[in-house]
């Protein structure tokens, strides 16, 4: 009997159906300002389906509705794309089908639309109740894929994003205004077929990262990428604005690969500071083997992911880089009001590794003092990406809450934990009606006046 791949077992075992539950049990006190929806996306193939790669599993969104101290509902829904309903292939005789998405990486709200994202395809719009509306192409203006990690400027409300492809054009950059109208698109010169999963924005720049993972036609998992020592590792720095693409500069960096950016900003000397977890070749190969279910799969997909900092000096044409922490982490987050600006605090999820740091935890970094604090989650318990929500009347960067959904294997259950972001103390627990599959990314969607009217 063939063993199941790791992404179909344990914390990652998919759920078999869609349910809705109301009036959830709450321990502790939910802060009343937590009025909105926590939405999480992840890969959850249908029963009987074994994808060739974790990233090929169909997307499922889990939602938890909070209102003024109550947990009103939980619901989960598959994103109904052509890939879910009929297994539509990405490549056709006419080229890539940008609607053939699993839509299983992230979910955001912008311009009044909920968008489920997967970087090789168009986004898929969902209703507030998580039912699928369909592919969203920005009224026909978006003709490339859309990254699963768009960046919303906290000052302008603009949504910056890109589309990456293993075939020319390798990199397209896009901007949608605060209302969700696509207002700018440009091809980025000098880009390669390197896998670009995430990027960064600062006040004045857009920052792209090309690592050593690039297009590999011999890879047969359905995700045609692999590590290449011949692929240069680089950071692209581009001025924001209509003519920015023509002015992009590429800076060589040490070999490695980054999936997720913590943040980037310009310091007082005009240098660009970029941070995020990275892996070397061995770390990538262990993760990849886990994702495809190969025998040398490694114990954890993120066990060799360590936080790195780059300081790019455009005037001098130099890059200084260093690993700044030896804790294995992934899924970095922050108070989004500081996205693209200098931030003091960052959060992440810690993973067990050979250095003996223990099990899974929620980590808080103080970039000013260098302090690191960990909220240990407990045995056989895996937290999701910790989403920051500001507290009412917040005056400090870390005045707020971290929301994380825990998969508990011993209890075969899940809980939503609400942690105080300042000290990581547990504020409240919402008991969910089922164990929620370990996912990837999610968002807190606060209520708007329209939501209040509809409710």
- Which parts are annotated binding residues? 149, 197, 260, 441
In terms of DSSP H, where are the helices of 21-145? 82-86
- Please state, in angstroms and rounded to a whole number, the distance separating the CA atoms of residues 356 and 212: 28
- Please state, in angstroms and rounded to a whole number, the distance separating the CA atoms of residues 200 and 151: 7
Classify 234 as helix, strand or coil: strand
Task: Evaluate whether 193 touches 166 at the Cβ level (below 8 Å).
Answer: yes
- Please state, in angstroms and rounded to a whole number, the distance separating the CA atoms of residues 375 and 349: 10
Which residues are paired to 320 by β-bridges? 311
Q: Can you read off the two tokens belonging to residue 7?
A: 């992404």
State how far the alpha carbon of 120 is from the alpha carbons of 90, 196, 380, in Å: 9, 11, 33
Residue corresponding to tokens 């999610």: 442
Q: Can you read off the two tokens belonging to residue 351?
A: 């993973």
Instruction: Give the CA count within 13 Å in the CB-facing half-sphere of 234.
Output: 19
Q: How many CB atoms within 10 Å of residue 370?
A: 9
Q: Which residues are annotated as a binding site for Fe cation?
A: 149, 197, 260, 441
Q: Can you read off the two tokens belonging to residue 68?
A: 């003024």
């Amino acid at each position: 009997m063939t063993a199941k791949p790791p992404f179909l077992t344990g914390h990652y075992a998919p759920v078999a159906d869609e349910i809705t539950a109301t009036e959830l049990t709450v321990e502790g006190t939910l802060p009343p300002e937590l009025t909105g929806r926590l939405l999480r996306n992840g890969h959850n193939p249908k029963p009987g389906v074994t994808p060739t790669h974790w990233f090929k599993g169909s997307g499922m969104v889990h939602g938890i509705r909070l209102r003024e101290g109550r947990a009103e509902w939980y619901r989960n829904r598959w994103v109904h794309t052509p890939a879910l309903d009929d297994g539509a292939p990405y490549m056709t005789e006419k080229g890539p089908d940008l609607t053939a998405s699993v839509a299983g990486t992230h979910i955001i709200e912008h311009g009044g639309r909920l968008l489920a994202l997967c970087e090789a395809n168009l986004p898929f719009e969902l209703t507030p109740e998580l039912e699928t509306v369909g592919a969203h192409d920005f009224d026909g203006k978006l003709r490339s894929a859309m990254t699963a990690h768009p960046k919303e400027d906290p000052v302008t409300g603009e949504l910056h994003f890109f589309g990456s492809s293993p075939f020319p054009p390798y990199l397209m950059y896009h901007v949608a205004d605060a209302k969700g109208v696509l207002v700018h698109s440009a091809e980025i010169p000098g880009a390669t077929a390197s896998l670009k999963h995430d990027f960064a924005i600062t006040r004045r720049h857009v920052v792209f990262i090309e690592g050593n993972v690039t297009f590999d036609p011999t890879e047969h998992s359905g995700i045609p990428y692999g590590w290449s020592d011949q692929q240069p590792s680089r950071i692209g720095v581009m001025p924001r604005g209509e003519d920015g693409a023509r002015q992009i500069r590429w800076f060589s960096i040490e070999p490695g690969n980054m999936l997720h950016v913590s943040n980037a900003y310009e310091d007082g000397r005009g240098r660009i500071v970029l941070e995020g977890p990275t892996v070397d070749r061995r770390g990538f190969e262990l993760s990849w083997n886990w994702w495809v279910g190969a025998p040398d799969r490694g114990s954890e997909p993120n066990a060799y992911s360590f936080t790195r900092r780059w300081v790019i000096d455009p005037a001098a044409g130099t890059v200084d880089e260093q690993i700044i922490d030896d804790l294995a982490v992934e899924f970095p987050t922050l108070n989004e009001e500081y996205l693209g600006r200098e931030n003091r605090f960052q959060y992440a999820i810690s993973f067990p590794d050979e250095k003996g740091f223990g099990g899974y935890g929620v980590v808080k970094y103080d970039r000013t003092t260098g302090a690191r604090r960990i909220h240990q989650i407990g045995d056989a318990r895996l937290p999701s990406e910790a989403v920051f929500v500001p507290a009412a009347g917040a005056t400090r960067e870390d005045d707020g809450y971290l929301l994380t959904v825990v998969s508990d294997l011993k209890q075969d259950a899940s809980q939503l934990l609400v942690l105080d972001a300042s000290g990581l103390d547990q504020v409240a627990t919402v008991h969910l009606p089922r164990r929620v599959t370990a996912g990837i990314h999610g968002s807190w969607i606060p209520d708007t006046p329209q939501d209040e009217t509809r409710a």
